[in-house]
Amino acid sequence: MTGQRTASAGRADVVISGMGMVTPVGTSAAEVVAAMCEGRSGLVRPPAGGPLDGCAEVAAFAPPIDPASVLAGPETRVVDRYIVMAMQAAADALADAGIEVGRDVDPYRIGVILSGTGGLATLEAQVVTRTQRGRLGVSPYLLPGMLPNMGASRVAIRHGIRGYSSAIATACAAGAQSVGEGLRLLRADEVDVMVCGCSEAPLFATLADTFGNARALARGWAAEPAAASRPFDRRRNGLVLGEGAGVLVLERTEHADARGAAGYAAVSGWGATNDAHHPTTPHPDGEGAAASMRRALADARIEPADIGYINAHGTSTKIGDRAEAVAIRRVFRDGCPPVSATKAVTGHMLGASGVVESAVSVLALRRGLLPPTHNLDDPDPACDLDHIRKGPRPAPGISHVMSNSFGFGGHNVSLVYGRPGTRLSRTV
């Protein structure tokens, strides 16, 4: 049958061959990394009269994208922003990898996992329309315009991807888990290429209100919005909602070499666990998160001392940051590597954060320059780590980096990246 192949012996090496991002601080790797290192913040006061007016003091908006640039005809009538951002990031990632489906890869040997919460703002708008206009006012395009699997579906349709296709719903861990599951499929030789990512468009009133009523949003920073997200700092008092999308193209190293493609980094290992503790609150002892990090290290076949940098989940909440710091200490003890949390400038893009932060971690590895945690003026003693503060830290020669993502429901995912095994390496 088309697309089938006998599995090879051993475990395949996997590389990242393409990246695509839509974030509050840029839409290219160069823009995003520069913002992280320079402290160029994407956090702003929501515009008066906008969907977040009166719901959130600070938010992080990605650049607008015309739906007609990624969709055609009537499909643009009711389509959620999360789908538009997903399609843009995926198109950019495939172009960056130099992959055209059918030319560079068998359509049945490439898959897509593109996750996210789905188009809740679009659903809410249609509920309002139905209330005002009755049942005939509801758009027939609602479901294909907002379902959580439609990011993956639309990307597959646009690019002719006929292999494995899925979407993962593990809240803020969804993007990172998409990468991990893509790695699993590539190692199993079910595919040669995977398009893995997540897109989130949470900037609408109801979602902001539920975070606000739970006292999870940063408050008191309206006069200084860029300072509102401050992971691990004593004065942190909540997260800042952001929107965005991140997509990585993962490829079997032998496949990348065969087409002369250059790799950014190896996807060395991953781990996933559940706290089994509480629907929204991480376990304060950090054991679930620590276990995901240990599993990622074991999967990568390396020791804790081999990690030269950790991009923390670091949402800027009191409980979450402390639990993560405890978890990191459980794993790395006195040999804690440098740590930073880049949500200080992007805000929390929910599940999309894990993919963007993976890209940032990979670029830090390749450039030998680690981004700082901005706004970390007075580190919380309960978050005793080797924080990168005030500016980027040179780190030439590091071999591996780790990115953490944790989500409501107790989901923990850790990813480890190393130097690429391809004959050619990307210049970054």
φ, ψ dihedrals at 308, nearest 5°? -100, -5
Given the structure tokens 């979450």, which residue do they identify?
Answer: 320
Instruction: Specify whether 283 is catalytic.
Output: no
DSSP reduced 3-state for 101: strand
Given the structure tokens 């959580």, which residue do they identify?
Answer: 148
For residue 195, give every residue at least 6 positions away whose Cβ sits within 8 Å of its Cβ, in sequence order, or none: 90, 93, 94, 110, 111, 112, 113, 114, 155, 159, 161, 182, 247, 248, 249, 250
Query: Which residue in the list 255, 313, 374, 400 is annotated as catalytic?
Result: 313
Instruction: Specify whether 411 is catalytic.
Output: no
Query: 97 forms bridges with which residues in the sheet?
Result: none
Query: Which residue in the list 283, 348, 400, 411 is annotated as catalytic?
Result: 348
Q: What value, to the nearest 5°, has the Cα angle with vertex 265 and ends 331 and 301? A: 40
Instruction: Specify whether 400 is catalytic.
Output: no
Q: Which of 368, 370, 367 is nearest to 403 (CA)?
A: 370
* Measured CA distances, 88 to 20, 29, 73, 110, 169 (Å): 8, 14, 17, 18, 21
Amino acid, single-letter form, for residue 225:
P
Query: Which residue in the list 37, 55, 159, 172 is annotated as catalytic?
Result: 172
Strands 393-394 and 369-370: antiparallel
Helix spans in 160-220 (H)? 174-187, 205-213
> What's the CA gap between 134 and 136, in Å, rounded?
6
Query: 273 forms bridges with which residues in the sheet?
Result: 412
C-beta separation of 249 from 16 below 8 A: yes
Helix spans in 42-119 (H)? 81-97
Q: From the CB of residue 149, how many other CB atoms can be counted at a distance below 10 Å?
A: 17
35-71: b or e for each residue (b if 16 or more CB lie within 10 Å)? bbbebebbbbbbeeeebbeebbbbbbbbeebebeebb
Provide the token pair at 320. 């979450």
φ, ψ dihedrals at 225, nearest 5°? -60, -35
* Measured CA distances, 317 to 233, 268, 302 (Å): 10, 30, 31
Q: Which of 401, 399, 395 is nearest to 417 (CA)?
A: 401
Task: Provide the annotated active-site residues.
Answer: 172, 313, 348
